[in-house]
Every structure is written in structure tokens, then in C-alpha cells.
Structure 1
Amino acid sequence: MPQRILLVYTKAGGGHYAMAQTLYKLLKELEPDAEVRLFNFFDVGPRWIAQAIQDGYNFAVNKQRWLFTVFQAFYQTRPAIQTFARVLGMRLAPAINEYLEAFQPDKIIYCYPVNHGFRRLPYVRRRKPKTLTVVTDIFSPHLYWFVDPKDQYVVASPEAYSIARRHRVPPENLHYFQTLIDPKFNQPLPQSEAERLRKEWGLEEPYTVLVTGGGAGLKISFKLVRELVKIPGINVVVVCGYNQRLYHQLLGFKEQQGLKNLVLFGFTQQMYELINLADVVVSKAGPATIAEVLSLRKNLIVCDYVWPQEHGNVELIRHEKLGYYIRHPKKIAAKILELKSRPPEQRGLELKNEIVRLAEYILKL
């Protein structure tokens, strides 16, 4: 009988969904007969819950960071996390359990920290499917990932392994797979394809700066672009994500100033290609973005992070000298001018990407 694998995720932060998508693609490639499904458990519950959690998370992180900080301060202990999960589960559990009963997965892979909630569902308690939590915060995962120390966990860095042990997860429940990003980041883009895309996107200058900040774009994007376009001989590529206001603001600026070297993207699936064409990437401290940029040996400037979950990412970059943490647009522009004037630096994580080995491990569970 073909395996039935459920990949659980949410869209409260892009890294969870990206991990689920990558694993889905690899599992289907490795085992075409397996029935693999992506499951955003908020989709089966009341719409207001999805809006409150997913949309609320994205709004707080990108617009009202203090709200997220207050919420995270409350979310620092196991009792607080468990209480919140129980309250949420009262409204979601029946619909989630109904979905599980209909699909009947024999393996549940969590790409979001909800294993402690799913464990109480009647289907999970009765059928006892194999379960595994893939910790998508590569370098500095929060306590909520490890509320249930009895579950099995995948971590992707020595730092995450140490944090899991500090939260009382026993060594036999920890599985170490390095880096965990889309396998295409293992190799650079072929030169012929890179040249084709440079012509297609109008990247005529010899040096390229990529500015990206996830779905909402960077908060300082407009101020930063105004500084970057003053630097001669560079292409400025900005990914605005779903932020239509930022996109149209920059488009108006481009047309008003006649800036041929300013290239704009909304939401795009071509981050691999864009990072390949960049000489330096300016981004927030998302763990996947950091790993992708450094795996392709690009210069990295981090200008923002979400506290507390991304603070460890910034500390790693600074301590290991993997990039730069600079917040002010003028100082970022000055650093880019400095980087442009010196030979390229060979930066990168000394970690191999083991996402394929993880997919193979899941199939053998």
C-alpha cells in the first residue's frame, strides 16, 4: 500500500510553507507512488482564526513590531504555550481530526510547531502515525518548537541542537540534518542562463544589489533605494513581495527619475535566480534566506530581524563573520560601495545541504 504522508504547515511566516513545499516536491520525486499532501490546518477551521494568527502574525511582524514583541514575551514558558494551544485547539481540533480521518496518513511531518496539539487528537491517539517535527528556524529556534520533548525532531545546525537539548529534548529524539534548503541552492546557476536572465531583466551594470524582505518587503526599502541609486555602476533589484504599496511607490520613483538600473519584482518564485545574479543581498534575518545566500557564496547585509526568534541569526552572522548587520540605509550604501571596490569575498556556511537525505529518511520512517 502506498505511503500516505501529511506535511503540516501554516503561512505565519514564509519559512514553514517553503519547507513543506520543498519536502513535498522531493518526496514525490523519490517515491512517485506515495500520496503526499500539504496541509495548512488553519484552512479547515473558522476563517477568523486564520486571519487572527496568520494575517495577525504578518501584520505584527511587518507593521507593528511591538505587538509581536509583547506576544513573544508572553510566549516564553511551556504553560503559556500549552494554554494557548488548548484554547486554539478547542475551535480547530474537530475539523483537523475530521481531515485526518478522511486522509488517514501513516506519517505526519510537522513544518510548524504544533506537534503537542496534534498528539491529543483522537486520530493520532488511536492510529499512532509516525510523527516528526522539522524545525524550520535553522539557527535559533524558539521554545515553542520543543514543548513536547517526547516527539522526534529534526534540527539543521549545531546551535539548534544545543537549544533543543537545553529545552530537555533527549539526544535519541534529535536528528541532525544540515542546512535544509531547496537542493537547487547546492549549485550556482549555469553561466549561459545567468547571461540570458541579465538581458531579460535589463541588468546592464556590472554589479548587482538585491534587496529582499520576504512577503512584505523590507520596511526601509524606499529609503534604501534612494541611497543605492546614487552609487554608479550598479543594478538595484528590489523584491517587494505582496507589498503593492511599496511596489507602486518604487515604480513611481523609477519613472520620475528615469532609472533604468532599478528593477522591480512583486511576489516571485525566482529567488534562486535573483540571488545567483546578485553580488550582495540586503535582507532581514530570515534563516532560510541566510542559508540560501551564503550557500551561493554571496555577500550578505542583514538590516532587520524579528525578536527574539531571529536574534540568534544576527549573532551568528556577526560572530562567524558571515556577513554584516547594518540598519541605516546610508551606512548600508557605504558598505556596498566598499564591497564593490574590492575583490569578491568567498563567504559561506561550512555546512552541506541535506534536504534530500531528510526526504529519504522520512520515506523510511
Structure 2
Amino acid sequence: MPQRILLVYTKAGGGHYSLALTLYRLLRQLEPSAEIELFNVFEVGPRWIGQAIEDGYNYSVQKQRWIFTIFSSFNSNKPAISTWARVLGSRLGPRINEYLERFQPDKLIYCYPVNHGFRRLRYLKQRKPKTLTIVSDFYSPHIYWFLDTKDQYVVASPEAYTIARRNRIPSENLHFFQNLIDPKFGSPLPAAEVIRLKDELGLQHPYTVLITGGGAGLKITWRLVQELLKLEGINLLVVCGYNQRLLKQLEALKARRNLQHLHLFGYTNQMYELINVSNVVVTKAGPAAIAEILSQHKEMIVCDYIWPQERGNVELLQQEHLGYYIRNPRRIAEKINLLKRQETPSEATPTPNDAVKLAQFILEM
């Protein structure tokens, strides 16, 4: 009987969804006979819950960071998180259980910290499928990842391992895999393909700046674009993610000023290609974004991070001199202008990527 694997995710943060998509593709390649499905936990319940959490996350990260900070602080102790899980479970649990009964997975892979809520479901109590939580906050994961001390966990750094052990996860339940990004990031595009893509995108200048901030986009994108438009001789690629308002504002600006060197994208699956044609990438401190940019040996400027789970990413970036942490749009533009004038080829260093190994581990568990 073929394996039935359910990859559980949400769109409250683009990195979780990206990880689920990567594993989905790899698992299907490695085991074509397996039945594999992607499952957004908020799509089966009342729509207002998904809007409140997914859209609320994107809004708070983009516009009102204090809301997210307060929510994270509230969820910094296990009793508060357990209460929140029970409230959501009362509305989502029956619908999720119905879905599980229909698909009947023998393995549940959590790409988002929902294992604590799932273990209460009747399907898990009766069928006892194998479960695995993949901690996609690589360096400073929030404690809500580690509520279920009986689950199996994947961590990607010694820092995450230490936090897991501090939250009483047994060492035998912890498995170490690094980076976990799409394997295609393991090597750059051939030079001829980069030239073709530049022609296809209409990149007229030799130097290209990419602005990207995950699903929610960057808070400072509008102001940063204004500053970068003052620089001469650059192509400007801007990924707005799910932020349709920002995308429309920039489209209007482009049309009004006839900005041929400004290229705009909503949510895109072409990050590999966009990073390859760029010289420098401005982003927030999402672990997947950092790993993807470093794998292609591009200059990186981090301008923002989500507290607390992305703070460790910024600290690593600064300690290892992997990029620059600059918050002010004007200073970012000044730095990019400096990098443009003194550009030197980046030294290629091997970047470990265990995504394929993790997919094999899932199939064998």
C-alpha cells in the first residue's frame, strides 16, 4: 500500500509554505507511488479564522509590528499557548478531523507549530500516524514549536537544538538537517541562462538590486524604492508578495514616471531566477531567504526581522560577516551605491542543503 503523507502548513509567513512546497516536490520525485497532499489548516474552518491569523500576521508584520510583538509576548508561556490552542481547536478540530478521516494519512509532517493541537484529534488518537515537526525558524525558534514533548523534531542549528532541549524535548527525538531549501539553490544558473533571463526581463543595466520580504513584503519597500530610484545605472526588482496594495501603488508609480528599470512582482515562485540575475538582495531576516541568498553568493542587506524568532538570524549574520544589517532606507541606498562602485566577485563557499536527505528520512520513518 502506498504511503500517504500529509504536509501541514499555513501562509502565516512565506517560509513555512515554501518549505512545504519544497518537500512536496521532493517527496513526489523520490517516491512517485506515494500519495502526498498539502494541507493549510486554516482552509477547512471558518474563513474568519484564516483571515484573522494569516492576514492578521501579514498586516501586523507589515504595518503594525507592535500587534505581533504583543501576541508573541502573550504566547511566551506554555499555559497561554495551550489556552490559545484549545480555543482554535474548538472551531477547527472537527473540520480537520473530517479531512484526516477522508485522506487517512499514515504520516503527518508539520511545517508549522500545530502539533500540540493535532495530537488532541480523534484521528491521531485512534490511528496513531507517525508525526514529525520541522522547525523552520532555524536559529531562535519560539517555544510554541516545542509544546508536544513526545513528537519527533527536525532542527537546523545548534541554537535550535539547545532551545528544544531547554523545553524538555528528549535528545532521541531531535534530528539535525541544515538549511532545507530547494536543492536547485545548490548551484547557480549557467552564465548563458542568466544572460537569457536578463534579456527576457528587460534588464538594461549591468547592476541589479532585488528587494524581497517573503509573503508579507517589507515594511520599508515604498520608502526604499524612492531612495533607490535616485541611483543611476541599476535595475530594480521588487517582490511585493501578497501585499496587493503595495504592488498597485508601485505599478501606478512606474506608469506615472515611465520607470522602465523598475520591475514588479507579486507572490512569485521565481526567487531562484531573480536572485541569480541580481547583484545585491535586500530582505528581512527570514531563514529560508538568508539561506537562498547565501547559496548563490550574492551581497545581502537585511533591513528588518520579526522578534523574537528571527533575532538569532540577524545575530548570526553579523557575527559571521555574511551580510549587512541596515534599517534606514537612505543608508541602504548609500550602501548599495558603494557596493556597486567596488563590486568584486564573491568567493564561492559550499553551502550545505539537507532538503533531499530530509525527504528521504520522511519516506523511511
Task: Give me the TM-score of the superposition, normalised by structure 2.
Answer: 0.96
* Paired residues of 1:9 and 1:39 also in contact (CA < 8 A): yes
Could you say what secondary structure the match of 1:113 adopts?
Answer: coil
Kept in 1, the 8 Å contact 2:61–2:219? The answer is no
Residue-by-residue CA offset, 1:154-208 (whole Å, 9 max, x unaligned): 0112222222122221211100011100111111112222111101111111111
CA distance in 2, matches of 1:175, 1:65: 33
* C-alpha displacement of 1:348: 7.5
Deviates more, 1:126-135 or 1:232-241: 232-241
Whole-angstrom distance in 2 between the partners of 1:263 and 1:98:
44
In the other structure, the counterpart of 1:84 is 84
Q: Partners in 2 of 1:294 and 1:156 — Cα distance? A: 16
Corresponding residue for residue 337 of structure 2: 337
8 A Cα contact 1:211 1:283, kept in partner: yes
Structure 1 gaps, min length 5: none
Distance 1:199 1:114 in 2: 44
How many Å separate the matches in 2 of 1:348 and 1:145? 34
The Cα shift of 1:253 comes to 2.7
Could you say what secondary structure the match of 1:160 adopts? helix
Counterparts of 2:144 and 2:351 in 1: how far apart (Å)?
25
Code of the aligned partner of 2:28: K
Match of residue 51 from structure 1: 51
Equivalents in 2 of 1:125, 1:160: separation in Å?
Answer: 28
Pair 1:110 & 2:110 matched: yes
CA distance in 2, matches of 1:54, 1:187: 33
- Distance between the aligned counterparts of 1:222 and 1:11, measured in 2? 23
Whether 2:203 is the aligned partner of 1:203: answer yes
Q: 1:28 touches 1:34 (CA, 8 Å); kept in 2?
A: yes
Q: Any gaps of 5 or more consecutive residues in structure 2?
A: none
1:40 CA drift (Å) = 1.1
Partner of 2:320: 320
Letter in 2 for 1:107: K
Change in CA separation of 1:117 and 1:136 when aligned onto 2, cut-off 3 Å: same
The 3-state SS of whatever aligns with 2:132 is strand
Residues 226, 48 of structure 1: alpha-carbon distance in 2 compared, 3 angstrom cutoff: closer
Which deviates further from its counterpart, 267-276 or 237-246? 237-246
- Whole-angstrom distance in 2 between the partners of 1:79 and 1:348: 47
Equivalents in 1 of 2:272, 2:190: separation in Å? 12
Number of positions where the alignment pairs a residue of Structure 1 with one of Structure 2: 365
CA pair 311-347 structure 1, distance change in 2 beyond 3 A: farther
Question: In structure 2, what is the Cα distance between the partners aligned to 1:292 and 1:347?
Answer: 16
CA–CA distance in 1 between the matches of 2:216 and 2:247? 10
Shift, 1:247, TM fit: 2.2
Mapped to 2, the partners of 1:266 and 1:120 lie a distance apart of 37
Output the CA distance in 1 between the equivalents of 2:9 and 2:243: 23
Q: Distance in 1 between matches of 2:155 and 2:48?
A: 32
Residue 107 of structure 1: CA displacement?
Answer: 0.7
Tell me the CA shift for residue 127 of structure 1. Answer: 1.3
- 1:347–1:283 distance in 2 versus 1, CA, 3 Å: farther
CA change 1:79–1:349 in 2 (3 A) is farther
**Aligned partners of 2:14 and 2:216 also within 8 Å:** no
Match of 2:120 in 1: 120
CA distance in 2, matches of 1:324, 1:225: 18
Counting only pairs closer than 5 Å after superposition, residues 126-275 of structure 1 correspond to structure 2 as: 126-275=126-275
RMSD over aligned Cα, in angstroms?
A: 1.5
2:247/2:266 contact within 8 Å kept = yes
Q: Please list the CA deviations of residues 198-228 of structure 1 after superposition, one character each: whole Å capped at 9, or x if unmatched.
A: 0111111111110111233222122212221
Q: Is the 8 A contact 2:15 2:214 kept in 1?
A: no
> TM-score with structure 1 length normalisation?
0.96
Distance (Å, rounded) in 2 between the aligned partners of 1:345 and 1:112? 37
Letter in 2 for 1:292: E
Cα distance in structure 2, aligned partners of 1:155 and 1:51: 29
Structure 2 Cα separation of the partners of residues 263 and 69 of structure 1: 32
1:322 alignment partner, SS class: coil
CA contact (8 A) 2:13 2:58 kept: yes
- Opposite residue 20 of structure 1, the aligned amino acid is A
Cα distance in structure 1, aligned partners of 2:169 and 2:351: 23
Q: Deviations for 1:62-109, whole angstroms, at most 9, x for unmatched residues?
A: 121111111111010111111111111111111111211121111111
2:88 alignment partner AA: L
Q: Distance in 2 between matches of 1:151 and 1:241?
A: 32
Letter in 2 for 1:171: S
Structure 1 counterpart of 2:287 = 287
Instruction: Tell me the amino acid that sits aligned with residue 310 of structure 1.
Output: E
Shift >6 Å, 4+ stretches: none
- SS across alignment from 1:42: coil
Equivalent pair of 1:322/1:347 in contact (CA under 8 Å): no
**Structure 1 residues 110 and 348: CA distance shift in structure 2, 3 A:** farther
